[in-house]
Amino acid sequence: MNWFLAHDVLLVLSLPALAAVVLAVLPGYRLSARGNVAASLATLLAALALFVRHPAPGPYFLVDDLNIVFIVLNTFVGFTTSVFSATYIDHELQTGRLTPAYLRFYHAMYQVMMFGMNLALVVNNIGLMWVAIELATLATVLMVGIYRTHEALEAAWKYFILASVGIALALFGTILVYLAAAPVVGTGLQGMTWTVLVAHAGAFEPGLLSVAFIFLFLGYGTKVGLVPLHAWLPDAHAEGPTPISAVLSGLLLNVALYAVLRFKMLMAGNPHVIAAGPLMTTIGLVTLIFAAFMLYRRRDIKRLFAYSSIEHMGIIVFAFGMGGPLANFAGLLQMTMHSLTKSAIFFAVGHVAQAKGTQKIADIRGLTQSHPPLGWTLVVGVLAIAGMPPLGIFTSEFLLVSSTFARSPLLAVPLVFGLFLAFAALLLRLQGLAFGEPTGRMTPVGASYVPTFAHLALVAVAGVYLSPELVTWFQHVAGMLG
Amino acid sequence: MHGIGFDIAHLLAGSLVLVSLTMLYQDRLYALLNTYTLHAVVLGLAVAWQARLQDAPHLYITAAIALLFKAGIIPIALHRIVVRLGIHRAIETVSGIGTTMLAGIGLVGLSFAVMLRVTEGAALVAREDVAFALSVVLLGLLIMVTRRNAVSQVVGFMSLENGLILAAAGAQGMPLVVEISVAFSVLIAFIVIGVFLFRIRERFDTVDVRALDRFRGERR
Amino acid sequence: MMVMSLLAGIGLLLALSVLALFVGARPAGTPLVYAIGLVLSLFLLAVSGSALLRAGPAQTLVLPLGLPWIGTHLRLDALAAFFLVVINLGGAGACLYGIGYGRHAAEPLRVLPLVPAFLAGMNLVPLADDAFTFLVAWEFMSLASWALVVAEHRGAGHVEAGYIYLAMAVLGTFALLLAFGLLAGPAGDYAFASMRAAHAAPPVAAVVLGLVLFGAGAKAGLVPMHVWLPRAHPVAPSHVSALMSGVMTKVAIYAVIRIVFDLLGPPAWWWGLVVMGFGGASALMGILYALFETDLKRVLAYSTIENVGFVFAGLGLALAFRADGMAAAAALALTAALLHVLNHAVLKSLQFFGAGAVLGASGLRDMDRMGGLIHRMKVTSVAMLAGAIGLSALPPFNAFVSEWLTFQAILLSPALPQWGLKLLVPAVGALLALAAALAATCFVRLYGIVFLGRPRSDAAAAAHETDPFSATAMVIFAGLALLLGIVPGPALGALRPAVASVLGTLQPAALRLPWLSIAPLAASRGTYNGLLVFLFIAGSAALVAVAIRLVAPGRTRRGPAWDCGFPDPSPSLQYSAGGFAEPIRRVFGPVLFRSRTSVHMPPPGETRPARLVVRSHDVVWEVLYAPVAGLVAAASSRLNVMQFLTIRRYLSLVFALLVILLLVLALWR
Amino acid sequence: MALIRDLAAQAAEMALVVGAAPLVTGFLRKCKARLTRRRGASVLQPYRDLLRLLRKDVVLAENASWLFRAAPYLVFAATWVAAALVPTFGGGLLFSWSADLIAIVAMLGSARFFLALAGMDVGTAFGGIGASREMMIGSLAEPAMLMIIFSLALLAGSTQLSVIAAFMQSPAVGLRVTLGLALAALLIVAIAESGRIPVDNPATHLELTMVHEAMVLEYSGRHLALLELASWVKLLLYLSLIACVFVPWGVAPPGSGWLAHLLGAGLYAGKIALACALLAVFEMTIAKMRVFRVPNFLGAALMLGFLGAMLLFVSRII
């Protein structure tokens, strides 16, 4: 037992890795789907154990208040998505879009992806983190292209190329950080270890760190989906299997965001370095407003919500760019709520697309009439993502907008403009989807509502009540972020 | 550190930039591939020299990868692809060679302006190497965005990545260099296989408006 | 304690909406839910009423919900209690009405769970004592009402109405959010108590005022933020329309009073000017829109805008008086505004109930297809007549009292020292006078076209009386309207603590003279006694009737209509709703609505009928909203190209950004 | 004792306005006839008309509703009460404090409201014409009247008619521009409200021009009698109002003796007679307007009233 607690980090990593191997050889898609769920659940439990007791930071692994947020969120959404995925692929098999052979690959890749993301979150080494994120990216690329349709391959290709360039830029940034660190902390592993880097950040050459941050921001920002680096994101979301869309939006973006945040913390430790805040706020605002405008012309339901993810990433990056306890808190909360809500939306959307046999918004009407539970779930989800109370995102947007307005009113104006534009666009599309004379198939669809409801319930509770422990924790993290 | 060792490192890194500029100048696919082979060879030499300078034997592995994989396997594979796809005739660049070259020289200037000022604290070798590496990275990106052809874009990406390896090798005592170069090799292999598998004949430009009209339903 | 019971009531309402999810589909579910809703509303009404009459210090309660480091602050003072009374009065009426009317809902599950939720949201707003709770309740209220607006989602234009509604509501919420952000300051002190303590600097306060007027004004329906209101209010089920028009707009007025009078600190004199200006413009534009509208429920919605304008004019006056230290006059103006809030809530609920009864009986909303309903809907027609007189602000009904008080407050304003006020106040007075007079025309038109004359369609001819529950609700509200008109004293007395809690000064004592008379400041300035006027008119009418009976015992015969000797059997020859308003349109239309009239006269000898075509424009929409929508559409089309670039171009973007950032860095030091 | 005397004064006032209204109309008609060199009917002719109408049966249109039958009583009662609250020959009416000038105007508004509804009840084209036009006139005349009230109230510090009348008698008044503007506006409003030329012609049944007559077209017998009487009372009301506000001399102050009241009554009769004569001359010299030009006419009143009130607002320093 003690061994487990001491090596819990390893458990979080080894469970998905082992599962990936097992699932790759396991025959029978039902079994492998269950195995996927079981592995995800086990990882979640291990992560919760981590949450209960942080191990001391070692040379390779680091679990602190910041990344435990991400780890728990990651494993939780990973678990719920695996539950959703089990229902989803059932339908895909029936309609013949996927074959059992592909499913084996799919489940293995799912666990590889989880492994990559967990690794990126827990390692105490910027080089390894880079490797892990690359691994997760490659796994998702393969998943996006799994349908083998022309569109899916195209999307995967676009994703692959843009992500590769992003990864290359991030690596260059990582090397530069090392170069900046080496004269101070000495060469070797020391120069890439988080805890060491953060402790000595003040002594690093500020100019080099500035250049490094630009590369890192652009590199990992590509994965976050910041405009104008976002181009892969909508297509990858739209053409891959919906569970992957949920994971992409709910998790992978967060992991990349985590990397950006880590480096921002590093920058914050050095007073002479270029201010990361203005860069992040600017890019955040551009992302928000651009994505808001893009929402209006969307014809594909998954692409619509992919752009909404971009929009939210813009908000979150803006929040962290603003800094300060309130805005950082808002950013963290927004990120958590967005992960939960957006994956819930993708769960619903996946079933909607299966029920109607199409992803075209124009062909989906009157969902609340034809599929009431599904339609209303979508309504609640979209209202939540659009920032309506009493759902969680409202809380974070409330904090963000009001604190921004009090600090720098001129920034709040474009922020509110973007938020409103995005809201109006989402509402416009939502009303078309949910109301009016229903079109298309009316047959009920076998949907698993449990993951969706679980996410939305969490979001709804967070909208009216945040437990003091959570708040203290988030506040501490917000303090860490400076 | 001054002395012949530094001069050779400097020379090799500078040559890499020069070869990058030469690649920028090529408008024939075969010539581009050949130049790239040279690029990889120079990289391999540079990394090997760094291994000797820093007394870091593991860097020899990286150098070997560069020589074998990048200067050997990949160019050959790309040659075959070019032949297979029948696109050996020409590369059309987006803007004229002259403008591209000017932009390239500007980028080299930019990278020196950025780097040399900020790396004063770093060891001299690393300092020069990093500036050259940044030039190579930027030039690689420039190649990517000025070529319409898929293969030449891959070549651009690979030269970009060579710049990264140069920087990594130049950073004294940096861990994980080998792992990173391996990882990148995998990545490149993926890309090359992708180009081959998906029969991306002419360009990465298949994701264009007309194609979407046909397939996506986003524009209907 | 009272806060707790109110909270319990609100909680039960929320529980009721959950219950409605389960029982809503059954036939007995509808009356059950509404009956429970009625009981809960009456309970809340009783609690808030007793809180208002008790008039003690404000009660507060803090719950560990909402924003964690602040918690949910609740506070019940007299102002909140007064608005809670208004809300729950309307809510109780709507529930009573809904017991009968609810059966018209095609899909009860889309309505039933939302009505209690809507009520709960509205009840929570006045209780909220921190910005977060306030906005959550506020937005929850918007959300619930939006869902009700789109409840009949298959109707033409309903979904669009819902869209414009919620979009405007959210825009307004953002404005309020920014206002609270300014009030709270960078430290994020969102509790109202700390906002109250920290007075904003004048420029900041001015921005807050603007934001609040926009945010809450949009919800209240102030011109030019009103565009959603006439679209959304009519398409909801009628008892919900009554709630939205009669009650929800009042919640918005509450927000303005709470923020501007209470939280913002001492006003500058020009605030009153701005608020009054909006009020006057809304009053006139609202009633003109109403006059030119032919959809029955939209007429009522536009009339709401007019009445909100009246309230805002009163609020503006109160601000101006307060800024200049005229405490008694400020109290008078605020009393007038608050009384009008109550009066309009009663009247507009009543009118929407009536419109719902008509809709339920005939399926019609288009006035030009109605007519003669007085013969078939006896109770409804009497109740609607009361409402029509009331909304026309004629004695002896209630709205006259509040408008009379508003005019009396205006008459006190020459004492204000600022020239801007001196010039604007009479202008606003003229606008209000015009609006009041036009309101009479509007409601003559409404009542005359809908209830009088001959039926203009088969549906109208086949209409029948509404159900007893709806009728009871209407009769009660009509009685209330009359009662408030002839005995306004108790209502004014109840307003006393509310006004005092906002302004810190008491109402002028002269407001309640012996013999149930009311007067501003002093009896010598003018008095009004609704009871006596009512008795006089009723008495002399009775006297005349008796006298006539005695001297003129002639028989009464029925015969065909005389009509100057040209009786025509076709009901279409009656004046239409459009025709009735035509003289007014000729006066105001060309300027305010850019209306153009063209006559197509056939050449002599042809038998073709001449055609008169009138084209009007909703100038506010076309000038303020359509261009914005166009810009957004154009911008999104322009940007949409970004979705369809080649990978190379995307890479170019990445490259460009990288180079730009590096350049910035190179030039930075 | 005082109460009884006041009650008596109030009752006398009420009786007076009803009793004298036909006489005033008769006198006005006589003046007009004389001005056109006709002999004209007797000044008592309106009384005879009333009696004739009262004796006749009522013929109701087939689809007339209860509102149609109730309206004459309500219209008459509202007008009557309003008229009874305007001081004629004596100030300090017992019930004057139950309604100020705004309320009096509003009561007339109520009367108009019911009259217009009655016009629309039967569902004929003419009824609609009358109601529509009447409401248009009313909706412009009423704000004008309110502006006049504003002017007066600002001068006198009260909207109470008796206070205004007392103020106008006091030396504090002086000559004021505002008063002139208000008088001009009030004259226009009075003409429009009581349905005189050039706004309406009470003697016509020509469909293009009638307003009041179009609304009462379907009435007969005692109902018509009441409505006619109500319109006459309204005319008298406006004449009394002008007399009381702008020519207040001779109105017996509250609590004065019989003699003062008698004197007041005599002067009142003189004032009304003079006003009738002037009105007759005015009506003879002017042509009926097109209906759609009436708004301009009333708009002028509104502007005048507004200007008057504005001048007071601006000049007043308290």
Is the CB of C181 less than 8 angstroms away from the CB of A436? Answer: no
Tokens matching residue C309: 């304008």
pLDDT at D91: 66
Cα C58 to the chain's mean position, in Å? 27
Alpha-carbon distance of A280 to C147, in angstroms, equals 37
* C605 touches D at CB < 8 Å: no
pLDDT at B204: 45
Q: Which of A153, A157, A192 sits opposite B175 (nearest CB)?
A: A192
Residue at A86 is within a domain: no
Please report which confidence band the pLDDT of residue B208 belongs to, taking 50, 70 and 90 as the band edges.
very low
- Beta-carbon neighbour count of residue A410 at 10 Å? 9
**Beta strands, E only, C59-104:** 59-63, 72-76
For chain C, the residue count is 669
* C535 touches D at CB < 8 Å: no
Is the CB of A157 less than 8 angstroms away from the CB of B123? Answer: no
User: What is the arithmetic mean of pLDDT over B159-186?
Assistant: 83
> In 3-state terms, what secondary structure has residue B53?
helix
Tokens matching residue C284: 């006139």
Is the CB of C644 less than 8 angstroms away from the CB of B212? Answer: yes
**Which residue bears the tokens 């929402």?**
A295
Show residues of chain C in contact with A163, CB under 8 Å: none
Alpha-carbon distance of C431 to B131, in angstroms, equals 74
A388, A397, A419, A466: best to mutate for the C interface, most C CBs within 10 A: A388
Is the CB of A401 less than 8 angstroms away from the CB of C174? Answer: yes
pLDDT at B123: 62
Q: Which of A388, A391, A376, A370 is nearest to A430 (CA)?
A: A376
Q: Which of D56, D121, D135 sits opposite C440 (nearest CB)?
A: D135
C-alpha dihedral (C95, C99, C104, C110), degrees to nearest 10: 50
Q: Is the pLDDT of residue D157 over 70?
A: yes
Residue type, A256: A
Is the CB of C642 less than 8 angstroms away from the CB of A406? Answer: no
Show residues of chain B in contact with A176, CB under 8 Å: 130, 167
Tokens matching residue B136: 């190579």
Cα A322 to the chain's mean position, in Å? 20
Show residues of chain B in contact with A186, CB under 8 Å: 173
Q: Residue A270: in which H helix or E strand, if any?
A: none
- pLDDT one-digit tens code per residue, B10-63: 888 889 999 999 988 887 888 889 999 999 999 999 999 888 888 888 889 888
pTM across the whole model: 0.93
Interface list for A 295-334 with B (CB within 8 A): 298-300, 303
Phi-psi region of D147 (alpha: psi -120 to 50; beta: other; left: phi over 0): alpha
Residues with Cβ within 8 Å of residue C27, at least 6 apart in sequence? none
**Which residue bears the tokens 């075959």?**
B80
Residues with Cβ within 8 Å of residue A48, at least 6 apart in sequence? A72, A75
Please report which confidence band the pLDDT of residue D316 belongs to, taking 50, 70 and 90 as the band edges.
low
Provide the shortest C-alpha distance from residue B102 to chain A (in Å).
23
Touching, A vs D (3+ Cβ pairs under 8 A)? no
Tokens matching residue C55: 């008039």
Please report which confidence band the pLDDT of residue B217 belongs to, taking 50, 70 and 90 as the band edges.
very low
Is the CB of C411 less than 8 angstroms away from the CB of D110? Answer: no
Q: Is the pLDDT of residue A232 over 80?
A: yes
Show residues of chain C in contact with A427, CB under 8 Å: 163, 166-167
pLDDT at D154: 87
Is the CB of C563 less than 8 angstroms away from the CB of D55? Answer: no
Domain span at residue A345 reads 275-482
What would the DSSP string read from start to end of C522-546?
Answer: SGGG--B-HHHHHHHHHHHHHHHHH
Q: What is the DSSP letter of C571?
A: G
Tokens matching residue D195: 């349905």
Mean pLDDT by 10 residues, chain C (669 residues): 92 95 90 96 95 85 85 92 96 95 87 95 95 94 94 88 95 93 84 87 91 95 93 92 95 96 90 94 95 94 96 95 91 94 96 94 91 93 96 93 93 85 89 95 95 92 92 96 92 88 76 73 84 92 91 83 78 88 88 86 86 86 92 92 84 93 84
Is the CB of D54 less than 8 angstroms away from the CB of C552? Answer: yes
Domain boundaries, chain C: 266-542, 619-668
Is the CB of A299 less than 8 angstroms away from the CB of B217? Answer: yes
Is the CB of C395 less than 8 angstroms away from the CB of D318? Answer: no
Q: Which of A58, A56, A68, A50 is nearest to A8 (CA)?
A: A50
Sign for the CA dihedral angle at A201, A207, A208, A211 comes to positive
- Beta-carbon neighbour count of residue A5 at 10 Å? 13
Alpha-carbon distance of D268 to D44, in angstroms, equals 19
Cα C256 to the chain's mean position, in Å? 14
Domain boundaries, chain B: 4-215
Residue pair C613/C597 in contact by the 8 Å Cβ criterion:
yes
Alpha-carbon distance of A415 to A327, in angstroms, equals 13
Residue at A85 is within a domain: no
Residue pair A208/A180 in contact by the 8 Å Cβ criterion:
yes
Residues with Cβ within 8 Å of residue A305, at least 6 apart in sequence? A237, A245, A249, A342, A345, A346, A349, A385
Is the CB of C444 less than 8 angstroms away from the CB of D160? Answer: no
Q: Which of C140, C150, C186 sits opposite A435 (nearest CB)?
A: C150
pLDDT at B219: 42
- pLDDT one-digit tens code per residue, A34-68: 999 999 999 999 898 888 877 777 778 888 888 88
Alpha-carbon distance of C406 to A360, in angstroms, equals 56
Nearest-CA residue of chain B relative to C641?
Answer: B209
Q: Which of C291, C165, C173 is nearest to C228 (CA)?
A: C165
C557 forms beta bridges with D59
Is the CB of C648 less than 8 angstroms away from the CB of B142? Answer: no
ipTM of predicted assembly, 2 dp = 0.91
Alpha-carbon distance of A223 to A235, in angstroms, equals 13
Q: Which of A158, A167, A172 sits opposite B207 (nearest CB)?
A: A158
Tokens matching residue B168: 């990594």
Alpha-carbon distance of A331 to D164, in angstroms, equals 68
Nearest-CA residue of chain B relative to A163?
Answer: B187
Residue at A183 is within a domain: no
Per-chain mean pLDDT for chain D: 88
Domains contained in chain A, number = 1
> In 3-state terms, what secondary structure has residue C659?
helix
Please report which confidence band the pLDDT of residue B199 belongs to, taking 50, 70 and 90 as the band edges.
low
